[in-house]
Amino acid sequence: MIGRIGMRLVEIFALPVVLTALWWVLSADSTNFFFPPLSSIVDVFVPTWFEGRILDDVVPSLLRLAAGYLLALLVGILLGSAIGSSTRLRQFCEPVLEFLRAIPPPVLVPILMLFAGVDNTMKVLVIFSGCIWPILLNTVEGVRGVDPVLRDTARSYRMPWRTTYVHLVLRGASPRIAAGARQALAIGIILMVISEMFAATNGIGFTTIQFQRSFAIPEMWSGIILLGFIGLGLSLLFRFAESRVLRWYEGMRRQEREG
Amino acid sequence: MTRKRSIAAAAAALAASAALAACGGGDDGGDGGSGSETDQVTVGVIPIVDVAPIYLGDEQGFFEDEGIDLTLETGQGGAAIVPGVASGQFQFGFSNVTSLILAESQDLPLTMVAPGNSTTGEVGDDFGAVVAPEGSDIAEPADLAGKRVAVNTLNNIGSTTINKVVRDDGGDPSTIEYVELGFPDMPGALSNGQVDAAWVVEPFLAITEGQGATPVAWNFAATDPELMIAAYFTSEQTAQSDPDLVERFTNAMEESLQYASDNPDEARAILSSYTEIDAETAEQLTLPTWPTEINEDSVQLLADLALEDGLIDSEPDIEAMLP
């Protein structure tokens, strides 16, 4: 038992430890101003981020990310199931969706700024405008893929539409929706940083860029590392939530494999 | 030759363009007298009105005369150009003085080699100002206190000079809420009321004035009538390993600055070759002045302001930054 846990820990931590050690050793005598030794980055990490900046910068960033992402999740799933349920609506919308999806959200920032102002609303909208596409398009595909026989069965049993939607459509599409949501999370973190490059006064991205501009290079690297940790943390959180929501699906897959 | 070789060695680890430049420098070495050598030199500049002299000087052949084959690379700003110079990708760069002071305070050794540009010194007719939209109740610098003011970069030369001007006028600059916006986004944000005022430089000063905005604070001219805003600089490494190149570059640069000062119409005309400024705006905008001497007092003053506003923690070594 102990041995198995030990093996698992080795599997998880071996590569990060090796990479960190490699970085530490290779950068130890670095005199390059822009690539300081890892030890000096580690030295500034705690004073830089844990003396006030958690509340001033990290929390605002995460709140904006959460707002934009959850909004995208809500709108994406609702709109996506509507479009996915109707062939006509889908054919009507598809070219426009593909067009809109191809527009990189950063180019929208100046336009969003014109009508959403320069405050949090603009930043949340930037995050939303990037996160929505994978969720929406995956929901459309997922809903479209729901077994038509099951749909007919639900109809002939006169199941109320709400029950049909929640238990058949949404659940049937949920593996695809989860895949879209996972993609959207990565996009959201990128856009969180990008939105803070414009008209910002706080945030992890904002602070990291300020460090770069004022040539506080170890502090800049500490911001980059912090972003990496946040990405890692959110991805673990996502995996946990996904395993809860999709427990039936994983069980079904396991059964299919073994049966 | 050893000098050339050390440059080549320094550049070896860098981008291909820099490596090519170093080879180019070495190839022509045997041509005879020192005057006929040609060095490939890359300069990092920002595509704004301020750097018109170097484009003009290149066109006039001042750099060629000094044995310099000039390539101009445009960067977003000091934060992009400084790393380029520090790494040797660019031999020289253009940056505002406050950014260079910030670099110095972080122990990134850079040396100024030539002045960049200076204020006209005339309150009411400078190339940069804080403007308020039509109908604003902001009339003088002190009124900026408590307002939302757009600057292109937080905690840099814009905010320190605005703070000084507001302070001198009896306002409390600590109550100003600075918002970071790109210059091109400022006219829109100003007319939408997203900011109460915006710090703009040419050509955006002419553009916002065309939209009915009024200048309310001349932060450069009012800070010091001889304020040097920006400078051309090099890395300490280049300054020490190739003082001859630095001297020739400085000579050519001074000649260019003088030529631009003497021929403002040509300076206006060359803007269209590297910016999107149209001929009509180029006619109207106020040019900076282009002195040929580095103004040491300005460097000290900007360092004092940076210290006062908390951009840096301790007095920087100004001497080390001067040629």
Taking each helix axis as running N to C, give the angle between helix A217-245 and helix A204-213, from 0 to 180 degrees, rounded to the nearest 10.
160
Question: Do B239 and B312 share a domain, yes or no?
Answer: yes
Amino acid code (one letter) for A243: S
| Residue range of the domain that includes B186 | 128-223
Alpha-carbon distance of B119 to B97, in angstroms, equals 13
Q: Which of A199, A216, A217 sits opposite B181 (nearest CB)?
A: A199
User: Alpha helices of chain B — where are they, by DSSP H?
Assistant: 2-12, 16-27, 52-60, 62-65, 78-87, 97-105, 157-168, 186-192, 204-210, 219-223, 236-241, 243-262, 264-274, 279-284, 296-308, 318-321
Reading the block at residue A123, the tokens are 């930043």
Q: How far apart are the CA of A117 and the nearest CA of chain B, in angstroms?
A: 6
Burial of B284 (0-12, 13-18, 19+ CB in 10 A): middle
Point out the domain boundary residue: B191, B223, B255.
B223
- Check residue A252 and give its pLDDT: 82
Number of structural domains found in chain B:
2
- Write the burial class of residue A51 (CB in 10 Å: 0-12 exposed, 13-18 middle, 19+ buried): exposed
- Is A215 close to B311, i.e. CB distance below 8 A? no
pLDDT at A143 over 70: yes
Same domain flag for B194 and B257: no
How much is the pLDDT for B56?
93
For the cut 90, the answer to whether the pLDDT of residue A120 exceeds it is no
Last residue of a domain, one of B206, B223, B240: B223
B306 falls within a domain: yes
Write down the pLDDT at residue B36: 54
Q: What are chain A's domains?
A: 40-85+92-253 (1.10.3720.10)
- Separation between Cα atoms, residue B84 and residue B43, nearest integer Å: 9
Same domain, B250 and B209: no
Q: What is the pLDDT of residue B94?
A: 93
Q: pLDDT tens across A40-51, in order?
A: 899 888 888 888
3-state helix, strand, coil in chain B (%, to 5): 50, 20, 30
Strand partners, B149: B178, B197
Residues in A lying within 8 Å of B, measured between beta carbons: 33-34, 110, 113-114, 117-118, 198-201, 210, 212-217
On whether both B242 and B208 belong to a single domain, the answer is no
Distance between CA atoms of B201 and B218, rounded to whole angstroms?
10
Q: How far apart are CA B62 and CA B252, in angstroms?
A: 5
CB contact under 8 A, B194 and A212: no
Contacts 24+ apart (CB under 8 A), B27-32: B29/B1, B29/B4
- Is the CB of A215 less than 8 angstroms away from the CB of B185? no
Contact by Cβ (8 Å): B211, B189: no
Whether the per-residue pLDDT at A214 is higher than 60: the answer is: yes
Q: Shortest CB distance from B180 goes to which of A200, A215, A217?
A: A200
Please name the member of A118, A210, A217 whose beta carbon is closest to the beta carbon of B154.
A210
Closest CA in chain B for residue A32? B87
Say whether pLDDT at A78 is over 90: yes
Number of residues that this document lists for chain B: 323
- Pairing assessment for the beta strands B39-45 and B68-74 based on DSSP bridges: parallel
**β partners of residue B94:** B232
Strands B148-151 and B110-118: unpaired
Does residue B2 belong to any structural domain of this protein? no
Residue B54's pLDDT is what?
A: 94
For the record, the structure tokens of B248 come out as 């020739």
B96 beta partners: B230
Residue of B nearest to A207 (CA): B154
Rounded to the nearest angstrom, the minimum Cα separation between B150 and chain A is 8
Residue B132 has a pLDDT of 93
Phi first, then psi, for residue B318 (nearest 5°) are -60, -40
- Considering the domain boundaries, does residue B24 fall inside one? no
- Average pLDDT, integer, range A155-162: 88
Are both B173 and B209 inside the same structural domain? yes
Residues of chain B where predicted confidence (pLDDT) is lower than 50: 1-35
* Spatial separation of the C-alpha atoms in residues A217 and A215, rounded to whole Å: 5
| CATH number of the domain that residue B200 is part of | 3.40.190.10
What distance in Å separates the CA atoms of residue A232 and residue A229, rounded to the nearest whole number?
A: 5
Is residue B168 located within the same domain as residue B115? no
pLDDT score of B214: 92
On chain A, the residues whose CB falls within 8 A of the CB of B155 are 210, 213-214
Report the chain B residue with the minimal C-alpha distance to residue A117: B194
Residue A155 pLDDT greater than 70, yes or no: yes
Q: What is the pLDDT of residue A259?
A: 64
Report ipTM for this prediction. Answer: 0.73
Pair of tokens at residue B8: 């080549």
Q: Domain check: are B181 and B207 in the same one?
A: yes
* Pairwise CA distance, residues A20 & A10, whole Å: 15
Mean pLDDT of A73-94: 90
B78, A213: Cβ pair inside 8 Å?
A: yes
Distance, CA of B200 to CA of B252 (rounded, Å):
30
